[in-house]
């Protein structure tokens, strides 16, 4: 049974699957977008190539949502809420293989002190040094990318680690087509870091030192 049939059968156990169905993976989609078309007896799913490395269960979930949209007669694209839901849950299925000993040690410290060890370790990498972005969390690959400048001050690294792990924990709010990452809840949590004000100052010093 193909995963399309699997998804169909789970969704409509009383119906026969009578389509000529296939999945086409392509680079034309942005991030994790997908769509489905039905012409004649042909049921064709178009999925972003990124879906290829996602676990089968989550892909079946995607196919089910697309089928619900299609056979329910609604708009034949994956709606934004579903898209966000998938993105928020994708980190579960992503392969955690990329790490760095300095970042791993920082992660252990911060996770134990501030999250009771409950955050699952994301991919942790040092990327390019940058003034505008000291670090960023990418939901779709469950990866935090840190500027190498943070190696200069491991306390500040911990503070930035805390900020990025809060993104992983709190995710984002979606309203009127916009995503909100630094919500009031986020800012309140951020202030719970020990000596937060001092850390903010040291963070500024670090970046100005680098560029003066
Ligand atoms: Zn942030």
Domain membership of residue 96 (yes or no) is no
Q: Quick one: 57 and 152 in the same domain?
A: no
Rounded distance between C-alpha atoms, residue 170 and residue 48, angstroms: 26
**Domain C-terminal end among 46, 61, 90:** 90
pLDDT at 88: 74
In the chain, % of residues over pLDDT 70: 84
| 160 shares its domain with 197 | yes
DSSP state letters, the chain:
--HHHHHHHHH-TTS----EEEEEEESSS-TT-EEEEEETTEEEEEEEGGGGGS-HHHHHHHHHHHHHHHHTT--SB--HHHHHHHHHHHTTTS------HHHHHHHHHHHHHHHTT-SPP-EEEEE---SS-SEEEETTTTEEEEEGGGGG-HHHHHHHHHHHHHHHHH--EEETTEEE-S-HHHHHHHTTSTTHHHHHHHHHHHHHHHH-
Tell me the per-residue pLDDT of 3-56, one tens digit each, with 9 for 90 and over.
Answer: 899 888 888 888 899 999 999 999 888 778 899 999 999 999 999 998 887 777
Q: Name the domain count of the chain.
A: 2
Instruction: Tell whether the model's pLDDT for residue 74 goes beyond 50.
Output: no
pLDDT score for 122:
92
CATH (domain of 48): 3.30.2010
- Domain shared by 53 and 106, yes or no: no
137 Cα: distance to centroid of ligand 1 (angstroms)? 8
Using the 3D structure, point to which of 51, 70, 90 is the last residue of a domain.
90
Distance 10 CA to ligand 1 centre (A): 39
Comparing 68 with 156, the larger pLDDT belongs to 156
For residue 206, tell me if it sits in a domain. Answer: yes
Give 181 Cα–ligand 1 centroid separation in angstroms: 7
Is the predicted pLDDT of residue 146 greater than 50, yes or no?
Answer: yes
In this structure, the answer to whether residues 21 and 63 fall within a common structural domain is: yes
Say if residue 168's pLDDT is above 90. yes
Distance from the CA of 139 to the center of ligand 1, in angstroms?
12
Do 161 and 185 lie in one domain? The reply is yes
45 CA distance to ligand 1 centroid (A)? 35
**Local confidence band at 192 (pLDDT 50, 70, 90 cut-offs):** very high
77 and 107 fall within a common domain: no
Residue 115: CATH number of its domain: 3.30.2010.10
Are residue 137 and residue 67 in the same domain, yes or no? no
Is residue 95 domain-resident? no
> If you compute the radius of gyration of the chain from its CA atoms, what whole number of angstroms results?
21
Mean pLDDT for the chain overall: 83
Tokens 């699997």 correspond to what residue?
6
Give the Cα separation of 49 and 14 in Å (integer).
Answer: 32
Q: Does any domain span residue 66? A: yes
Q: How far is the CA of 165 from the centre of ligand 1 (A)?
A: 9
Pair 168, 138 in one domain: yes
Residues spanned by the domain of 200:
101-211
Ligand 1 centroid, distance to 88 Cα (angstroms)? 16
Whether 194 is covered by a domain: the verdict is yes
Q: Are residues 106 and 179 part of one domain?
A: yes
Pairwise CA distance, residues 69 & 75, whole Å: 6
**Same domain for 112 and 173?**
yes
pLDDT digits (tens, 9 = 90+) for 126-135: 986 555 678 9
Residue ending a domain, choose from 63, 90, 117 = 90
Kindly give the distance from the C-alpha atom of residue 155 to the centroid of ligand 1, in angstroms, as a whole number. 17
The residue that leads in pLDDT, 211 or 154, is: 154
Could you tell me if 77 and 109 lie in one domain?
no
pLDDT of residue 67: 87
pLDDT: which is higher, 71 or 25: 25
CA distance 32 to 84: 10
Distance from the alpha carbon of residue 97 to the mean position of ligand 1, in angstroms? 23
Are residues 147 and 181 located together in one domain of the fold?
yes
For residue 169, report the distance from its CA to the centre of ligand 1, in Å: 12
The reply to whether 29 falls in a domain is: yes
């Amino acid at each position: 049974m193909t995963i399309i049939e699997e998804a169909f059968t789970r969704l409509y156990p009383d119906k026969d699957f009578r389509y000529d169905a296939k999945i086409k993976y392509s680079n034309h989609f942005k991030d994790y977008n997908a769509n489905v078309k039905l012409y004649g007896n042909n049921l064709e799913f178009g999925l972003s190539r990124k879906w290829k490395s996602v676990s089968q269960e989550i892909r079946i979930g995607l196919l089910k949502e697309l089928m619900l949209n299609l056979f329910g007669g609604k708009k034949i694209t994956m709606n934004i809420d579903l898209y966000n839901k998938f993105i928020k849950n994708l980190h579960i299925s992503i392969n955690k293989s990329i790490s760095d000993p300095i970042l791993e040690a920082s992660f252990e410290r911060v996770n134990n002190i501030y999250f009771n060890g409950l955050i699952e370790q994301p991919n942790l990498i040092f990327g390019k040094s940058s003034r505008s972005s000291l670090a960023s969390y990418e939901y779709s690959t469950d990866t935090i990318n840190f500027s190498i400048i943070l190696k200069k001050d491991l306390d500040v690294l911990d503070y930035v680690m805390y900020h990025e792990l809060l993104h992983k924990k709190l995710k984002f709010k979606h309203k009127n087509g916009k995503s909100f990452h630094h919500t009031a809840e986020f800012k309140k949590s951020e202030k719970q870091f020990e000596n937060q004000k001092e850390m903010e100052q040291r963070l500024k010093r670090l970046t100005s030192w680098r560029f003066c």
